[in-house]
């Protein structure tokens, strides 16, 4: 995200983050709406230029919000959902059900029924028994669904540090090597109320280059050709990386997608296989870098010759990834520019030693109670993974663009916090 300093204070699109904090409080998620739109357009433009027929859907789990879903619809994106709740949120945003894909490794009958009733046609099937369950429900509802089968390509993420999902031993997909994938295809083709649409894979997350995806496309297309299976669509999942710190690489959308689409075209041509439509489902790369979190500094504790802890007014209830994966973040003091820095630990206020935002992170020596800290690249898997641990209230979320600042999710209220309690 493009943050600039004006009279020392960090600003976004000309709005001071201190003014935004003043109006909406902290902890607060601030998104650059223009950047989200721009990421969608980069994917569209590159895919259009490939000449392939394509669809692209946003993986809603990265950040689920009605206003974001409306924006996604405006940007011609489809939507992936994996639960009744995500689907309900999408339908409330008036998302076109025909552009919603239903995913998940354990869809309940109730969810399948709800989705079909709502007009969702596209299911990503993840297990053999799901085929019969979807078929039975579709038949009962007098409808036919399109199915894409999620396969497990058995691609180990060699030297790359992805968060793997494409290795043999995984809860996701049906293994190609063990013959489960072919069994799945046959079952779907025999099902009376399911149209076999194609194949899906998603080999991991925070992937910063395209070789794993390229290798998987080749494996899958060769496997399809050898088994005489025709598909309409190949869905290559999401997983493209973002820059959390200066050590990370933002996935090169234009070059990466060009390499991927060219591989699909070339592989199909080489073995005389009909080139399918391509589908992508990015999440993190659409919203991740577009979001930041603002916190207010509270207690500052120096342990002589040991460490300095700067505590903020949120923590693992709105920022779980450091505790969960030891994820790294960059922080900046919002209030002023000060180059005299020291390495400190920024800690949350929740009752866990692991409730840390960043270790060994450089912040101005002058950082004190009442100052504002900004944590960068928190647009994906932060709000959506937030919890009420310690009865913390879920933060508010605002979108900022050239047009101004707008609240898209209000801060949770105390009344809401106990709304389900029997008193």
Is residue 352 annotated as involved in ligand binding?
yes
Token pair 């552009």 is at which residue?
99
Can residue 238 be called a binding residue for ligand PLP (CB under 6 A)? yes
- Please give the Cα distance from 290 to 148 (Å, whole number): 30
Can residue 280 be called a binding residue for ligand PLP (CB under 6 A)? no
Is residue 283 annotated as involved in ligand binding?
yes
**Residue 62 beta carbon to ligand PLP: minimum distance, rounded to whole angstroms:** 5
Q: Which of 54, 123, 208, 240 binds ligand PLP (CB under 6 A)?
A: 240
Q: Which of 60, 64, 175, 205 binds ligand PLP (CB under 6 A)?
A: 205
- Please give the Cα distance from 409 to 23 (Å, whole number): 14
Stretch 291-350 residues interacting with ligand PLP (CB under 6 A) = none
Is residue 406 annotated as involved in ligand binding?
no
Can residue 111 be called a binding residue for ligand PLP (CB under 6 A)? no
Phi, psi of 2 (to 5 degrees): -90, 100
State the CB neighbour count (10 A cutoff) for residue 328: 17
Is the separation of the CB atoms in 133 and 112 below 8 Å? yes
Is the separation of the CB atoms in 229 and 186 below 8 Å? no
- Please give the Cα distance from 276 to 221 (Å, whole number): 10
Candidate ranges 35-43, 153-161, 278-286, 403-411; the one touching ligand PLP (CB under 6 A): 278-286
**Residue 374 beta carbon to ligand PLP: minimum distance, rounded to whole angstroms:** 22
Question: For the chain, how are helix, strand and coil distributed in percent, rounded to 5?
Answer: 30, 25, 40
Candidate ranges 71-79, 176-184, 231-239, 304-312; the one touching ligand PLP (CB under 6 A): 231-239
Can residue 382 be called a binding residue for ligand PLP (CB under 6 A)? no
Nearer to ligand PLP, 33 or 281 (CB): 281
- Please give the Cα distance from 195 to 9 (Å, whole number): 56
Number of residues that bind ligand PLP (CB under 6 A): 16
What CA–CA distances, in Å, run from 75 to 40, 108, 277, 292, 398? 7, 31, 20, 22, 19
351 in catalytic set: yes
- Please give the Cα distance from 204 to 283 (Å, whole number): 12
| Binding-site string for ligand PLP from residue 36 to residue 65, where x marks contact by CB under 6 A and - marks none | -----------------------x-xx---
Candidate ranges 22-30, 94-102, 257-265, 283-291; the one touching ligand PLP (CB under 6 A): 283-291
| Parallel/antiparallel/unpaired status of strands 78-81 and 54-59 | parallel
Stretch 362-381 residues interacting with ligand PLP (CB under 6 A) = 380
**Residue 410 beta carbon to ligand PLP: minimum distance, rounded to whole angstroms:** 25
Is the separation of the CB atoms in 301 and 368 below 8 Å? no
Any residues with CB less than 8 A from the CB of 98 and at least 6 apart, and which? 119, 120, 121, 122
Candidate ranges 91-99, 154-162, 218-226, 234-242; the one touching ligand PLP (CB under 6 A): 234-242
**Residue 58 beta carbon to ligand PLP: minimum distance, rounded to whole angstroms:** 9
Q: Which of 13, 103, 107, 376 binds ligand PLP (CB under 6 A)?
A: 103
- Please give the Cα distance from 402 to 383 (Å, whole number): 23
- Please give the Cα distance from 63 to 49 (Å, whole number): 28
**Residue 193 beta carbon to ligand PLP: minimum distance, rounded to whole angstroms:** 24
Stretch 63-102 residues interacting with ligand PLP (CB under 6 A) = none
Can residue 283 be called a binding residue for ligand PLP (CB under 6 A)? yes
Which helix (H) or strand (E) element contains residue 414?
helix 414-417
What residue numbers does the annotated binding site for substrate cover? Answer: 284, 321, 325, 352, 381
| Residues at the contact surface with ligand PLP, assessed by CB under 6 A | 59, 61-62, 103, 202, 205, 237-240, 281-285, 380
Q: Which residues are catalytic?
A: 351
């Amino acid at each position: 995200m493009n943050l600039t300093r004006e009279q020392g204070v960090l600003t976004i699109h000309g709005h001071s983050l201190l003014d935004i904090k003043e109006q909406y409080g902290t902890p607060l998620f601030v998104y650059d709406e223009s950047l989200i739109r721009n990421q969608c357009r980069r994917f569209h433009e590159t895919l259009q230029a490939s000449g392939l027929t394509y669809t692209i859907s946003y993986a809603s789990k990265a950040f689920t919000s009605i206003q974001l879903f409306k924006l996604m619809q405006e940007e011609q994106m489809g939507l992936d959902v994996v639960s009744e709740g995500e689907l309900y949120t999408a339908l409330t945003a008036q998302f076109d059900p025909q552009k919603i894909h239903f995913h998940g490794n354990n869809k309940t009958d109730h969810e399948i029924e709800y989705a079909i009733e709502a007009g969702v046609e596209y299911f990503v099937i993840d297990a053999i028994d799901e085929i019969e369950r979807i078929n039975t429900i579709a038949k009962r509802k007098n409808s036919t669904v399109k199915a894409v089968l999620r396969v497990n390509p058995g691609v180990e993420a060699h030297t790359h540090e992805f968060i793997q999902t494409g290795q043999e031993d995984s809860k996701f997909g049906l293994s190609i090597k063990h013959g489960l994938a072919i069994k799945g295809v046959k079952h779907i083709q025999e099902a009376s109320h399911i149209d076999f649409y194609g194949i899906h894979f998603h080999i991991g997350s925070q992937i910063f280059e395209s070789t794993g995806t390229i290798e998987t496309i080749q494996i899958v297309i060769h496997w399809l050709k050898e088994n005489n299976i025709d598909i309409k669509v190949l869905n290559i999942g999401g997983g493209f990386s973002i820059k959390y710190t200066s050590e990370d690489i933002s996935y090169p959308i234009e070059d990466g997608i060009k390499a991927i689409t060219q591989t699909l075209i070339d592989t199909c041509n080489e073995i005389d296989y009909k080139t399918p439509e391509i589908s992508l489902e990015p999440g993190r790369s659409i919203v991740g870098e577009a979001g930041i979190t603002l916190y207010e500094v509270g207690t500052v504790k120096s342990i002589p010759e040991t460490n300095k802890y700067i505590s903020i007014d949120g923590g693992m209830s709105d920022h779980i990834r450091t505790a969960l994966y030891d994820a790294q973040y960059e922080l900046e003091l919002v209030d002023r520019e000060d180059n005299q820095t020291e390495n400190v630990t920024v800690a949350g206020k929740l009752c866990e030693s692991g409730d840390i935002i960043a270790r060994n992170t450089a912040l101005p020596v002058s950082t004190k109670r009442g100052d504002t800290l900004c944590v960068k690249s928190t647009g994906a898997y932060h709000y959506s993974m937030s919890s009420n641990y310690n009865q913390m209230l879920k933060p508010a979320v605002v979108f900022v663009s050239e047009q101004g600042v707008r609240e898209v999710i209000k801060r949770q209220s105390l009344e809401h916090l106990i709304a389900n309690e029997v008193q």
